[in-house]
């Protein structure tokens, strides 16, 4: 009888111990959950989320002075004091234009660290034309051409093109690269039919009909001309002697006469039935010129940003536009 009583007492004690342990465990779990919730609520209360206001950058269009202008292709900035600053990869860029589908074309405010040649001379050219001097030229990318004077096809890419679309492009952040799209760049040549000391250009039609599609290019000469509020920039844009400030009043002119820089475009000059070299502009507004492909000038990359991006900011240097990720 005493054995049965002892066995019963031991079982009862075990049940008490198990129930007590489970109760204690349940208490600890509930307490931890409440403590964790309290911490989470306090933490969330201390976090300050940055609020963004999406803005429409094409709402303020002007028809005179400095600002954003409208044309058939979309919108473009013109003038010296324009709010077209945008921060990309922690660097300032400038918005050149906005297409009707809201694609943004931007140019890097500061040049690459080192000046570069337009082409290093190692390019292999394939050119089929009945106008032989044309084959002596080098062009930004693959190009087919035809007009009343000559026709043909040029295949190849200059070394600066290759560098920008490989080494430079790969150096950008993933976020930046994901917002860059392949788009057409105007790479046509300028044929000077009738010129004086200032190299008056006959027309821009040849230039606009020739395209290269890619992700990283340079500014073209028409975009530079359109950015200037000086009407002389159109009629005397090739200031041969460089003594006339014909392209003043542009946000792309960032330097004084003493500190002027030479900046590559992606177009070439064709004059008197012969190739005259790629074109560059002076950063003090003293016109556009041609040079040798091997000459090293400043490089300001140009890219297109996809139309779906959302922006915040004011476009000023103190509050540039930023992409909302």
pLDDT tens readout for residues 169-195: 999 999 999 999 999 998 876 654 444
Judge contact between 157 and 123, C-beta under 8 A.
yes
Q: What is the pLDDT of residues 13-72, one digit of tens each?
A: 556 555 555 565 555 554 544 444 443 333 333 333 344 456 788 888 999 999 999 999
CB 215 within 8 A of CB 263: no
Strand bridging mode 321-323 / 85-88:
parallel
Strands 274-282 and 180-181: unpaired
Q: How far is Cα 214 from Cα 185, in angstroms, rounded to an integer? A: 8
Helix/strand/coil (H, E, C) string of the chain? Answer: CHHHHHHHHHHHHHHHHHHHHHHHHHHHHHHHHHHHHHHHHHHHHHCCCCCCCCCCCCCCECCCCCEEEEECCEEEEECCCCCCEEEECCEEEEEEEEECCCCEEEEECCCCCCCEECCCCCCCCEEEECCHHHHHCCCCCCEEEECCCCEEEEECCCHHHHHHHHHHHHHCCHHHHHCEECEEEECCCEEECCCCCCCCCCCCHHHHCCEEEECEECCCHHHHHHCCCCCHHHHCCCCCCCCCCCCCCCCCCCCCCCCCCEEEEEEEEEECCEEEEEEEEECCCCCEEECCCCCEEECCCEEEECCCCCEECCCCCCCCEEECC
More confident residue, 209 or 43: 209
* Rounded (10°) CA dihedral 163, 155, 219, 93: -30
What are 88-129's pLDDT values in tens digits? 999 999 999 999 999 999 999 999 999 999 988 765 555 555
Instruction: List the domain boundaries for the chain.
Output: 1-49, 67-323
The band of 265, judged by pLDDT with boundaries at 50, 70 and 90, is very high
- Note the pLDDT of residue 41: 30
Q: What is the pTM of this model?
A: 0.77
Note whether 247 and 286 are within 8 A (CB).
yes
Tell me: pLDDT of 296 over 90.
yes
Closest CA to 303 of 156, 167, 184, 173: 184
CB atoms within 10 A of CB 192: 16
User: What pLDDT does 56 receive?
Assistant: 82
**pLDDT beyond 70 at 87:** yes
Higher confidence at residue 291 or residue 21? Answer: 291
Contacts 24+ apart (CB under 8 A), 150-156: 152/127, 152/128, 153/126, 153/127, 153/128, 153/129, 154/125, 154/126, 154/127, 155/125, 155/126, 155/127, 156/123, 156/124, 156/125, 156/126
Q: How far apart are CA 187 and CA 189, in angstroms?
A: 7
pLDDT at residue number 187: 83
Check whether 161 has a pLDDT greater than 80.
Answer: yes
- Give the pLDDT band of residue 140 (cuts 50, 70, 90): confident
Residue range 219-242, pLDDT digits in tens: 998 899 899 998 877 654 454 445
**Residue 86 pLDDT > 60:** yes
Closest CA to 191 of 227, 159, 221: 221
pLDDT at 10: 53
User: Please, what is the average pLDDT of the chain?
Assistant: 76
- Is a pLDDT exceeding 70 seen at residue 156? no
Q: What does the alpha-carbon distance between residue 286 and residue 289 come to, in Å, rounded to a whole number? A: 9
Q: Which residues contact 65 (CB under 8 A, 6 or more apart)?
A: 79, 229
Q: Kindly tell me if the per-residue pLDDT of 131 is higher than 70.
A: no
How far is residue 262's CA from residue 85's CA, in Å, rounded to a whole number?
22
């Amino acid at each position: 009888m005493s054995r049965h009583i002892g066995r019963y007492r031991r079982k009862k004690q075990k049940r008490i111990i198990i129930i007590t342990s489970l109760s204690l465990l349940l208490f600890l779990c509930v307490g931890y959950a409440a403590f964790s919730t309290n911490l989470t609520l306090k933490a969330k209360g201390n976090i300050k989320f940055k609020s963004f206001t999406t803005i429409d950058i094409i709402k303020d269009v002007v028809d005179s002075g400095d600002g954003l202008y409208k044309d058939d292709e979309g919108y473009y900035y013109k003038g010296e004091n324009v709010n077209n600053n945008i921060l990309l990869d922690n660097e300032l860029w400038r918005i050149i234009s906005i297409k009707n589908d809201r694609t943004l074309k931007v140019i890097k405010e500061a040049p690459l660290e080192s000046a570069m040649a337009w082409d290093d001379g190692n390019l292999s050219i394939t050119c089929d034309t009945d106008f032989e001097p044309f084959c002596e030229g080098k062009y930004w990318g693959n190009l087919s051409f035809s007009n009343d004077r000559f026709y043909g096809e040029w295949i190849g890419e200059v070394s600066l093109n290759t560098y920008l679309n490989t080494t430079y492009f790969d150096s950008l952040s993933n976020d930046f690269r994901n917002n860059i799209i392949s788009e057409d760049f105007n790479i046509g040549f300028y044929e000077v039919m009738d010129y004086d000391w200032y190299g008056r250009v006959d027309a821009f039609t040849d230039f606009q009909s020739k395209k290269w599609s890619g992700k990283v290019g340079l500014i073209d000469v028409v975009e530079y001309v359109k950015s200037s509020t000086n009407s002389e920039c159109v009629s005397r844009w090739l200031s041969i002697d460089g003594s006339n400030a014909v392209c003043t009043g542009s946000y792309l002119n960032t330097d004084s006469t003493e500190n002027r820089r030479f900046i590559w475009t992606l177009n070439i000059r064709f004059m008197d039935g012969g190739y005259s070299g790629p074109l560059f502009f002076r950063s003090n507004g003293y016109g556009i010129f041609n040079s040798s492909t091997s000459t090293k000038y400043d490089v300001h990359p140009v890219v297109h940003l996809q139309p779906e991006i959302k922006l915040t900011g004011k476009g000023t240097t103190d509050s540039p536009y930023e992409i909302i990720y």
